[in-house]
Structure 1
Amino acid sequence: MFIINFIRGFFMALADSVPGVSGGTIAFLLGFYDNFINSLNALVSIKSSREEKKKSLIFLIKLGIGWVIGFLLSMIILSSIFEKEIYKISSVFIGFIVLAIPIVIKEEKDSIVGKYKNIIFTIVGILIVAAITYFNPSGGDGFKLSLDNLSIGLGLYVFFVGMIAISAMVLPGISGSTLLLIFGLYVPIVNAIKETLKINLSYLPILIIFGLGVIAGIVSVIRLLKYVLENYRSQVIYLILGLMIGSLYAVFMGPTTLETPKDPMSLKTFSIVYFVIGGAVIFALQQLKVFFEKK
């Protein structure tokens, strides 16, 4: 099971590190999402037994090793090509999302069919992402995250965006990286990680602040997420679909949030080839789920 969980974590990291589909969506597509959420909940819950915590920790460590390796590889590669190839990469993200939506509908058919009044939650999800994107507080100017530019205001901003982003990363729907892109922190965080890996420690304090926000987000959202999935699954699935649909708009507007803003993606800059590649990856992941289920 180590290899299987390593692969699962690796693909989650690839999703978490790029705007488009969240790691939670990948966990959902690969069929281990509920196990992932229950394991996180067992670690943060005081009601979990020692045996439950141990079992959950072992599972998450296996997953985490794959996640760390996948994330670092993604950061090293993406930091050098993201801004230059933003339109091609965004086309891949669109392929991810468009192909993932029908798969989520198929997998959660029992939560959707006959419960169409909950479509209001889909509309809410679309409006949430559209509003966040439209009222993007970064103004497209980006941020400098080195120690020379660190302030209390910037630190608080990074902390709370970290909380929000990790909440999205564990929730199937909008990607946490998409939210970082919306809030103007995606490229700065990617560059900060790359610089820290080069032993440029001036970026380390802001990454620690971001990491504390991530931890706070996990602790605060996991128990709530487990509760609503168990008691309001249909509403949550409809909301997730709305978030995914809304994230299409966020990805199209993503180039405007770069440190050097570019025009939103248009039909002229959209690449059908890279869109197909993105869709093919999602299809391959679904086939990988079938393979895992036979193990």
Structure 2
Amino acid sequence: MTAPNSPRPSQQESSPSVQSNTDLTAKDSPKNLAAVYVKGMAMGAADIVPGVSGGTIALIAGIYERLVNAISSIGPSLWTVYRQQGGIKGLLAIWRHVDATFLLALLLGIVTSFATLAGIIKHLLDNQPLLIWSFFFGLVVATVVLLLSEIKRWNVARAGLFIFGIVSAVGISSMPLVTTEPSLPYIFFAGAIAICAMILPGISGSFILLLLGVYDKALEAVHNFNLTVIVTLMAGMVTGLLLFTRALKWLLSRYYQGTLALLTGFIAGSLVKVWPWKVDALGTLNSEAIHNVAPWNYPAGAQWLVTLGLMVLGAVLVTALSIWGKKTKSVID
């Protein structure tokens, strides 16, 4: 995964090669941008599901570090970049500095998914939860296996970070849901927290919105095109994103292998949330089914053929995405 314009990592950590944002932008051909757009759609589709992180897709697709570095380059320093040349040239310098062509293509893909898939995925979650959770369970398991293979040297610290990531994700997934009607300031706050989770592989931003009682409100706003709620939520997300990505960029550039172990732990811990066989507090199936049970205790039966088939499909697709991500990443290496 290429980390554009990031500081040089320490000698103890292995990290992808470093290139400038200018070089990356120059190599954004229409074909490459189309690939980024498709990966953005995959990220958006994952972020719609409470329990699956778009950051997981970005990491496995080979664009995670470029995304983090591009976002973290947005800040007060852009004024200095502009002043060096001024006018149109200054604006173009800012565009290159933040890797804006890449970000725009990715954002368009994410927005496309939200606009076209939000209703479909919500329908499946409400009416065919076993099927959609089985698919994402297989996807997440394959992601964990693939990322574990990327950690070259295990030691006590990295193993500890991996375990800490698992425990943190399980703890977040077990928190009780907030059910109060959210106000606009609360929606802003929820957006800021959720986007931090959304960029972290394994911790679902949409699940954080669900925990905070804003998820249904956000889906309703998108469906009904409620600009007040949408703009408030987006403003919170932008605020949280700009503050959080700087810390994440610092960790990735200096402690890449340790950070990868932590992020992989987050993803592994999210398996608790995406476990397919769920019931409600009374042991029955409805929209409140959030308690995991053994497959043989599932009221509708384990349905092994369908569930395992969808798990395999999810694993195959994420493996294909990983292979494709490495091939497309090599274009800008």
State TM-score, norm by structure 2: 0.73
Residue 212 of structure 1 is matched in structure 2 by: 235
Q: Which residue is equivalent to 2:23? A: none
- Alignment deviations for residues 69-108 of structure 1 (CA, whole Å, 9 cap, x no partner): 122222131233321122221122211211100111223x
- Residue in 2 that maps onto 1:84: 127
Q: Distance in 2 between matches of 1:274 and 1:188?
A: 30
Q: After TM superposition, give the deviation of residue 226 of structure 1 in Å.
A: 0.5
Aligned to 1:72: 115
Residue matched to 1:146: none
Instruction: Note closer, same or farther for the CA distance 1:262–1:23 as it changes in structure 2 (3 Å cut).
Output: closer
1:132 to 152, 166, 172: 172
Counterparts of 1:1-295 in structure 2, within 5 Å, are: 1-44=32-75, 46=77, 49-50=81-82, 53-55=94-96, 56-107=99-150, 109-110=151-152, 113-138=153-178, 142=179, 151=183, 155-196=184-225, 201=226, 204-252=227-275, 260-266=287-293, 267-268=295-296, 269=298, 271-293=307-329, 295=331
- What is the Cα-based RMSD across aligned positions, in Å? 2.8
Asked if structure 2 preserves the Cα contact closer than 8 Å seen for 1:8 and 1:63, the reply is yes
Shift of residue 28, structure 1, vs aligned partner: 1.7
Which stretches of structure 1, 4 residues or longer, exceed 6 Å deviation after superposition?
Answer: none
State the Cα distance separating 1:182 from its structure 2 match.
4.0
Higher share of residues assigned helix: 1
Give the greater-gyration-radius structure (CA).
2
Seen in structure 2, the aligned counterparts of structure 1 residues 217 and 7 have a Cα distance that, compared at 3 Å, is: same
SS of the equivalent of 1:251 reads coil
Q: Deviations over 1:160-211 (max 9, x none)?
A: 3322221122222322223334444434422331122xxxx4xx43333222
Aligned partner letter, 1:59:
F
| Matching residue's letter, 1:251 | V
Residues 24, 263 of structure 1: CA spacing in aligned structure 2 closer, same or farther, 3 A cutoff?
A: closer
| Contact 1:181–1:254 (Cα < 8 Å) also in 2 | no
Q: When the two structures are superposed, what TM-score results if normalisation uses the length of structure 1?
A: 0.81
Report sequence identity in percent. 27
Q: Kindly tell me the number of residue pairs found equivalent between the two proteins.
A: 275
Query: How far is 1:221 from its partner?
Result: 0.4
Q: Which runs of 5+ in 1 are unaligned?
A: 144-148
1:225 positional shift: 0.8
Partners of 2:50 and 2:248 lie apart in 1 by 22
Distance 1:72 1:272, change over 3 A: same
Partners of 1:254 and 1:168 in 2: CA distance: 23
SS for the counterpart of 1:172 is coil
After superposition, the Cα gap between the structure-2 partners of 1:71 and 1:256, relative to the gap in structure 1 and judged at 3 Å, is farther
Structure 1 residue 116: Cα displacement: 3.1
Question: Match for 2:168: what amino acid?
Answer: I
1:224-269 residue CA offsets vs partner (Å, 9 max, x unmatched) = 1111111232332222122112211123398769994125243144
Unaligned runs of 5+ in 2: 1-31, 83-91
SS in 2 for 1:43: coil
Quote the Cα distance in structure 2 between the aligned partners of 1:294 and 1:222: 24
Cα distance, 1:184–1:249 mapped onto 2, change above 3 Å: farther
